[in-house]
Structure 1
Amino acid sequence: MKIKNIYKLGALMMFGTALSACTFLDTDPQIIPGEGYYTSEKKLQYGLAGVYGSLNSEALYGHYYSLQISNADDLCYYANYNSTDTRPDRYNHTAGTAVIYDTWLQLYKGIKNANEYIKGVEASTIAPEDLSVGKERYLAEARFLRAYYHFLLAQAWGDVPLRVESATSPNPEDVQLAATPQEEVLKWCVDEIESIVDDLNEEVDETPSRVSKTVAEGILARIYLFMAGETVAEVDGLPKQEMYKKAAEWAYAVIESKKHDLNPSYDQVFINMIQDKYDEQYHESMWEAEFLGDRTSADKWTNGRIGDLIGLKSQGGSNYSEWACNYSYGYYNGSYSLWQLYSEEDRVKDDTYKEGDENEGGYNIAGELVIDKRRLWNLPGYNYRGFGDTGTGKGQSITYKQGDANVTRVLLQEKSMYKTPWVYQNKFAMPEVEGLDQTVENAYNPGTDAGQDDFIYEPNVMCAIRNAGKWRRETIYEKQMSAKNLYTTINFPILRYSDVLLMFAEAVNECPDIQGLYLARAKEEFMKVRERAGIETDQTQLDDPQAFRALIRNERGRELAFEGLRKYDLIRWGIFVDKMRQAGNNIPRDNDGYYNKTYTNFAAISYGNVSERHIYLPIPTKELAVNHALTQNPLW
């Protein structure tokens, strides 16, 4: 593996003004040069960096789009119950919510940058012999990004202005543009990407921050699946079955390229993102929004809050150099519905356990074969919040029976210094706890204390309030101590190969016309995702189309949790509102999953806010005030 530094071209463009230096794809340029500028390959690269720049903004994959707008679904909820803000992830937002406007603005900024870049590069007279690759390569990347930004807009807002021309003047009239129907925007997106896909780089050995041919093919599969969904009107001459067929064909093209594979370790896929490394062997992470600084200095400016807002809660006021996990608010939790997907749905019991055993139902303390490996990584049984200050003796008090007597013990940990297990009703959520303070007389240590048999490991403890652990800031992975820095170097995945395999299986299952050609292969590729998770599959589920559909949908939730895709899956399947309401009512109680009233009741309130209007975002109030050709989305 190598550190992702291949595109350190330095520098935002120097246009007579000194701007702070950045890496190629972690920039936020304010100026895209026009005609006459593109006279060298380095200048082509500088301009292209500006087109990519929106991806790496805080408004898109750094925070607003990836987390607030896209990550609140039936499997994940915003867990800051002290927040009174109007937020998309609480579904109490309005057309005036700033996050929605900032995301809209950033997407159109990316489109504007692409339009200006395309126009400038097309007009350039740079000689082919002065380029290492043809000018078409640069244009293809810019045209792909312009289409991708339009796709995100149409997916989230529905009907939106289709802006494919660079404004020729600062005339306010240039802003006036009515919305194009959603299905027409999406059709334009696939036509545009299909027209340039063969001009993109076929190699994947560079960082996953730039678009390659297989990335474009995978995104085409994603767009066609969304177009085939329940909420998008049918395009004239392109029936839904044809869209499923196209999705399958593009996903199959990625598979047949043999340029990508599943990393045998699910954990390692995300450890690589945390460590800012690229997997040169498997290339499973196909496309990422890259964040290369932590704002500790001007030359390390970045816009990513992955790991800080979503991660394992880790807070404290001192001793940063001794922390086991860098600062994180840990604001996003996995829901009980996600827990059930990992622990109860689509499972085959482990036959090594007999009826009546402590581990009946397939919960093996060793974990490897029976507990879904993705659950262990995504919903770990600990964070780093700490139980109390060892100086005051305050901590987690636990009372249990020892013979006829009640015994009270205290579990003490300094915040952020060690793993803090979830504990409830005299049960641990993890089998091993590191770093318990043994200097306090009654501090409980499950490894050596005589009372350990009375303190039970139960993997279900606090199953509906665990932090989303996918991008944890544990220092063994992040390799830095950053105190309370809110911005991180952790990348966010836009497309992974496992997603391509699941899209292929879904598209084939939904399109009988191509099943004779692809169905056996679709099942084979689908099973690779299941097998990596270490769980057994009832093969009869693959033989019935309805059962296979349900299995695929559940598998997408298990595999891609917290990656900002589930909400749009639910929308295109036509079950968004129903699933969100079900999640709100699906609250564990003491007798079936260890209930935490504060968090889970708060989650239920957020889920209860969801209605049909939330299938689309409202057009921002500020945009309506400027573009009078637009009208507000229905129901808003």
Structure 2
Amino acid sequence: MKKTLILLSALSIGFTSCVDLNESPESFISPEQFYKTAKDAVTAVNAIYYPLVDNKVGAQPIYNRLFYTGLDFMTDDMDAGPGSPNGEVRAFAKLTHASTNLRIQQIWTEHYEGINKANIALERIPAIEMDAKLKSRLLGEATFLRALYYFNLVRLYGDVPLLLTDQTRLTTAELQVPRTPTSEVYAQIIKDLEDAANYFKNGAAGEAGRATEGASKALLSKVYLTKRDWANSVKLAEEVINGSYGYGLFDDYSQVFLPAYKNGREHIFSAQIKGSTISTGHLVTSSDIRSGVPGIKGSYGNQVAFYTVGTDKYFSVYKLFSNKDKRKRVSFVTSYTSPTDGKKYFTLNAPGDSVPYINKNWDPNYPTSGQSDANANVLRFAEVLLIHAEAENELNGPTEKAYTSLNKIRKRAGLDNLTTGLTKDEFRDSVYLDRRLELVAEYQRFFDLIRQTGTEATGVGPEGRGILVKNLKLVGKNNVTPKHYLFAIPQGEIDRNPKLTQNSGW
């Protein structure tokens, strides 16, 4: 079994092997001079991972603060907390943001940075004389990562420029290209993931921190799910579930998030942060934590979205969990004990109704600093089971195979097996609910609201699908409109490239 680990320090990115990578040479070396050795090839591929957890000046990591504020805040699960004063962040939560919003620009920029680094590696590495198995593995990693970056972009922005060559070689005029149709972008993503899986078959074993054949197939299954290609989604998911990759569920749901267990059997692909070595710290953990607890650094910048259900004015995703669901008290806590005075600190919305605080990024090794070594899950085995259950139900109805995959998730959560004899619609609703509870605060809900359908779905999304508008209005986010099924193309990009067009409504 191979897992993914990305360690980021303020100046360099390295893996848990003996590789000591500085992303940029300390003195100028031309590309012709640099891409000569196997070490150069490894360095080039390491750099492709960088934007996933990049914390450089002027930017934020994709799989940390950017997706938290730019995706999860635009859902029915989460909201900007009282400790989040940034106007652009709060605009996302209220869905009043414009095409000039910095997060819209940064998400675009960080993804294309990763894509260009992948393009450079894919262009330069084939000509390097080096071990064939190592070369094959490195080409697999570069191809996988390019697919991941484009998969995020096409889901967020729709048609996007499909750039497959080194952009640093192009003139300003050559960089001014129109948007590529979504269908062509998806075709390239699928090709890249198929190519990546083949590269890995012939490649050398990689140390922790590398994309793998299993990760390629898991992501491809998710791509097919998004495209509603149920047959291929089932096929790829079953190859991952039944393959020899060694994946499985942790016995205890809490182990998925505790740093002591990272890179375990459930982690197919993870962007993992060493919080104590990042110059500005882990950008999510302290924002999850309640403010005002002596000895614990917390700003409460991230909170669940509270809304009214019946007479309950403080309903939230927290209350969708049954009390027997073990995931409830792993994903959230309702109080903190101060290491300074030993007192318990909590907040009440109403008598007997404690405020739930997001707990998935908490690291018991940093009880007072607001730091965390908790990884950011990109793909984990539990999601593959959920993908399989959903796609199998759409393809063949709620078969025994679909029940088996979903019940594995429920059993780990301490829940009874799902009632047998459900209709296709009823089973679909059950899968959607378990996706929501299993993956809460893991950057999945926004994408799910866009692609999910239901018997009562309203709003017009891509291909007339999606429940984003309906669900956000149910929680009082009334500024949502059909335009929010896609992000705006960043206005700065349109200013630089007149061939780009804006998405409808922006």
Task: State the TM-score, normalizing by the size of structure 2.
Answer: 0.84
- The letter for the 2-side match of 1:341 is L
Residue pairs, 1:155-554, within 5 angstroms: 155-167=155-167, 169=169, 171-200=171-200, 206-207=207-208, 209-228=209-228, 243-258=229-244, 259-272=246-259, 275=260, 277-280=261-264, 283-295=265-277, 300-301=278-279, 304-309=282-287, 311-315=288-292, 323=295, 325-333=296-304, 335=306, 336-343=315-322, 371-383=324-336, 418-423=343-348, 427=352, 461-462=353-354, 465-473=355-363, 477=364, 479-480=365-366, 483=369, 488-512=372-396, 519-540=399-420, 543-554=422-433
In structure 2, which of residues 11, 16, 22 is the aligned counterpart of residue 6 of structure 1? 16
Q: CA deviation at 1:301?
A: 4.0
Contact 1:372 1:533 in 2 (8 A): yes
* Aligned alpha-carbon RMSD (Å): 2.9
1:616 equivalenced with 2:486 (yes/no)? yes
Cα pair 1:371 1:535 within 8 Å, conserved: yes
Deviation at 1:142, TM superposition (A): 0.5
What SS is found at the alignment partner of 1:162? coil
How far did 1:206 drift?
Answer: 4.5
Aligned-partner residue type, residue 257 of structure 1: G
- Is the Cα contact below 8 Å between 1:56 and 1:304 reproduced in 2? no
8 Å contact from structure 2 (residues 258, 374) kept in 1 = no
Aligned: 1:115 with 2:119: yes
Contact conserved, 1:61 with 1:289, CA < 8 A, in 2? yes
Q: Output the CA distance in 2 between the equivalents of 1:151 and 1:534.
A: 33
Q: Does 1:95 align with 2:92?
A: no
State the Cα distance separating 1:42 from its structure 2 match.
2.3
Distance in 2 (alpha carbons) for counterparts of 1:313 and 1:36:
52
For 1:522 and 1:538, the matched residues in 2 are separated by 11
Q: Does 2:77 match 1:75?
A: yes
Call closer, same or farther: CA 1:79–1:382 in 2, change over 3 Å. same
Taking the aligned partners of 1:537 and 1:157, their CA distance within structure 2 comes to 38
Deviation string 1:275-297 (CA, Å, 9 cap, x unpaired) is: 4x4354xx1121111212435xx
Q: Which has the larger radius of gyration?
A: 1
CA deviation digits over 1:535-589, x for unaligned, max 9? 224513x5321110010000100100000111111101111110111122xxxxx
Amino acid at match of 2:469: V
**Is the deviation greater in 85-94 or in 620-629?**
85-94
TM score, norm. by length of structure 1: 0.68
* 1:169–1:39 CA distance, 2 compared to 1 (3 A): closer
Alignment partner of 1:164: what SS?
coil
Distance 1:467 1:634, change over 3 A: same
Residues 102 and 83 of structure 1: CA distance in aligned 2, closer, same or farther (over 3 Å): same
Contact 2:4 2:211 in 1 (8 A): no
Change (3 A) 1:303 1:180: farther
Mapped contact 1:330–1:467 kept (Cα < 8 A): no
Note the C-alpha offset of 1:339: 2.9
1:369-396 alpha-carbon deviations (Å, 9 max, x no partner): x521111111222146x7xxxxxxxxxx
Closer/same/farther in 2, CA of residues 155 and 7 from structure 1, 3 Å limit:
farther
Q: 1:211 to 1:50 in 2, by over 3 A?
A: same
* 1:56 to 1:7, Cα distance in 2 relative to 1, 3 A: farther
Give the structure 1 partner of residue 459 of structure 2: none
Match of 1:34 among 31, 34, 44: 31
- Count of aligned pairs: 465
Task: Note the C-alpha offset of 1:141.
Answer: 0.8
Query: What SS does the aligned partner of 2:327 have?
Result: helix
Distance 1:489 1:425, change over 3 A: closer
Deviation at 1:33, TM superposition (A): 6.7
- From the superposition, tell whether residues 204 and 511 of structure 1 become closer, same or farther in structure 2 (CA, over 3 Å): farther
Distance in 2 (CA, whole Å) between partners of 1:204 and 1:419 is 48
Contact kept? 1:509, 1:548, Cα under 8 Å: yes
Aligned counterparts of 2:437 and 2:236: Cα–Cα separation in 1 = 23
Closer, same or farther in 2 for the Cα pair 1:314/1:83, shift >3 Å?
closer
Q: What is the CA deviation profile of residues 497-525 of structure 1, one whole-angstrom value per residue up to 9, with x for unaligned ones?
A: 1000000000010113xx6xx93222112
Whole-angstrom distance in 1 between the partners of 2:395 and 2:448: 17
- The runs of 5 or more residues in structure 1 that have no matched partner are 18-30, 229-242, 318-322, 344-369, 387-412, 428-460, 585-606
Residue 247 of structure 1 contacts residue 507 of structure 1 at CA under 8 Å; is this kept in 2?
Answer: yes
Q: Is the 8 A contact 2:366 2:372 kept in 1?
A: no
Alpha carbons of structure 1 residues 184 and 52: separation in structure 2 relative to 1, 3 Å:
same
TM-superposed CA distance for 1:183, in Å, is 2.5
Question: Would you say the 8 A contact 1:59–1:102 is kept in 2?
Answer: no
How big is the shift at 1:7? 3.5
Residue 84 of structure 1 and its aligned partner are, at CA, apart by 6.2
Q: Which has the higher helix share?
A: 2
